[in-house]
Structure 1
Amino acid sequence: MHRPTMHDVAAAAGVSQAVVSLVLNGNHAGRASERTAERVRAAAQELGYRTNLQAKSLKTGVAEILGLVGDEVATSPFSGMMIKGAQDRAWQDHHALLTIDTGGDDRLEAAAIDTMLSHRVRGIVYTAMYHREVHVPDAALDTRAVCLNARDLDERVPSVIPDEVTGGYEATKVLLEAGHTRIGIITIHDALPAAVGRLEGYRRALAEAGIAEDPDLVRPGTGMQSDGDRQTRALLALPEPPTAIFCQNDRTALGAYQTLTAEGLRVPEAMSIVGFDDQDVLRDFFLPPLTTVQLPFAAMGSLAAELLLSGETAPEVHRIRCPLVLRDSVAPPKGS
């Protein structure tokens, strides 16, 4: 079967092969009229012509492809929107996104990066399933690289992460503004940047409101639903229980909901709850719907791709605001 060539497009459009090349590469401004360009694009579409990306990459030294390498990005419920955000931004500049999930296997990661470099990708998005600190492999620095949902500990490439501190601050602030002054918090994996940042935001909001932190109200967890159950029971058992709880993720909040229901306590009449993440797989399990802080995965993915496409290489940390999603789990304290 004959594959249409640039020569065929030129003949169909009645122009030279050089004009076809300029138009299809987006470089015709000032060299060919828009009317001519439209004729060339129409001929290419009718003939089913496709640019030879391999030949183009050999000529320019770079392909119209961005690479994305992640530990468990294809299997995590969090990662789909990161990939979509990066893919949509890449597509705006007519780039494809080549994604490889390594499953945390260092050998597969090395092979993935080598494969992407062999394809002459324009840059590599080095992605983590959850917000953490990483060392970007040296091999990835053979092209442009950016960290996504992770901070580069070596400060060699840009990093795009959620603004956990502001998210924790706004989660606590919405409870303060509803009139709560005794606010519990159930944390997640204390060593993680997400846990540290969200706790810092909680403390900042309390300090701003002139409320001293009560250590009894800060309950450790690991982000599991069972921790929400266990630590909500511990908070309820205090001589002076809180009137609201900030759960550092939605799974913990689900455990808190279930405990309160088992104890005959209604949300938000007896206890206000705020979560974090806005996981769509959990959203329908909350009655009433949960007020939470959304992780901005699509915006993060989009910015990571933008940094690669623009050639921005400064090792700056870009913190993306986490929007507060107001639903029905917050009300003034009972009796106020």
Structure 2
Amino acid sequence: MSKKTPQTRAVTMQDVARHAGVSRTAVSLVLNDRFDVTLASDTRERVMSSATELGYRPNAGARALAQQRSDWYGLVTEIVTAPFAVDVIKGAQDRAMTDDKYLLIASTESDPAAETTAIERLLEQRVEGLIYAATWHRGVSVPDIASEVPTVLVNCFDRDGRFPSVVPDERAGGYRATARLLRAGHRRIGFINLDPGIPAAIGRRQGYLAALADAGIPADEQWQVTGHATADSGFAAAEVLLDLADPPSAIFCANDRMAMGAYDAIKERGLRIPDDIAVIGFDNQELIAGYLRPALTTVALPFEQMGARGVDILAAITAGEPTVTKRVTVDCPLLERSSV
């Protein structure tokens, strides 16, 4: 029988004290960065040297319990493997690390019971605050337990108005896409929108209409059709626009999936993009926008920036700074490719 190797015992403060020839209290003061108590510099040096030599690691759980803070933020999201969720996590983590903070991440799979459990587990780890992130922009109901610590919503907003939120500026994005087509000389601009009622559909249409109004172009209802966020619905909606007696010379699609469908409808008519008709999308789903031919000019959702801004607000709240704005919008940039 093979001999079982015993697990290495964790190095304790008492071990460091014995090695450095000082009291355990002195070790605690040094390793917890307590400078309000006077200690000789050589004592501090001996403690730090001994801790390094022995491989001492602080007990984060015990320290968090003692200090009632952990240097951790919790991030709760529906699906951590979604491409956009990864960008939110990156933005939040990069910003948190500038303040020596880190993220504990919990996936809830859109299950309300799992949300409450995830938040409870994060609170048990003494997180200093929570980021609650959604994979698509909408109003949400956040579990009451989130009120126990500062909480900021990202890519969603609290229906009850309890928590500050960071959301994309949908209207500005819709305006920017339409203005780009206007600058290219188009005056007949079709719009394939998302299902009505959701914030993205409302804001992107408002931007589209505002850009036309600023250019002195009447908004023609027949140039505005509704899709359902899929490539198939984009194809069908583009067919409706192309069948008009006076079809548009450009189409603004409220997401990249519908733009992909519009590409197929346009090409089936023997038309060329962008020579015969221009197309702009929204979202910047890179596996679509970057690989369509020609590559799709689109408006990007600023997930990474929203994650970072959420941590900015969370850091301010945990530092005791007042927050005036309940809902912060982040700009949606235009990414030029080859479809206009």
2:80 counterpart of 1:70 = no
3-state SS in 2 of match to 1:275: strand
Q: 1:275 to 1:17 in 2, by over 3 A?
A: farther
3-state SS in 2 of match to 1:140: helix
Query: Normalising to structure 2: TM-score of the pair?
Result: 0.87
Tell me if structure 2 keeps the 8 A contact 1:283–1:290. yes
**Larger relative contact order (CA 8 Å, sep ≥ 6):** 1
**Residue 331 of structure 2 corresponds to which residue in structure 1?**
321
Tell me if structure 2 keeps the 8 A contact 1:158–1:313. no
3-state SS in 2 of match to 1:113: helix
Q: Where do 1:23-38 residues align within 5 Å?
A: none
Consecutive unaligned residues in structure 1, runs of 5 or more: 331-336
3-state SS in 1 of match to 2:155: strand
1 CA distance for matches of 2:193 and 2:208? 11
2:4 counterpart of 1:4 = no
**Cα root mean square deviation, aligned:** 2.8
**Residue 123 of structure 2 corresponds to which residue in structure 1?**
117
Structure ID, larger Rg: 2
Give the one of 113, 133, 137 matched to 1:131.
137
- Give the percent of matched residue pairs that are identical in Structure 1 and Structure 2: 44
Q: 1:219 to 1:40 in 2, by over 3 A?
A: farther
2 CA distance for matches of 1:288 and 1:57? 54
3-state SS in 2 of match to 1:293: strand
Give the Å deviation of 1:310.
Answer: 2.4
1 CA distance for matches of 2:199 and 2:181? 23
2 CA distance for matches of 1:94 and 1:50? 17
**Residue 104 of structure 1 corresponds to which residue in structure 2?**
110
Render the CA deviation track for 1:51-98: whole Å, top value 9, x for unaligned. Answer: 211111111112222111122x32423211001111222222232211
Query: Normalising to structure 1: TM-score of the pair?
Result: 0.88
Amino acid at match of 1:3: A
Give the one of 269, 276, 288 matched to 2:282.
276
Give the Å deviation of 1:161.
Answer: 0.5
Render the CA deviation track for 1:32-56: whole Å, top value 9, x for unaligned. Answer: 9999989977765554332211111
Q: Where do 1:149-160 residues align within 5 Å?
A: 149-160=155-166
Amino acid at match of 1:324: L
Consecutive unaligned residues in structure 2, runs of 5 or more: 1-7
3-state SS in 2 of match to 1:139: helix
Amino acid at match of 1:59: A
Give the one of 165, 168, 173 matched to 2:171.
165
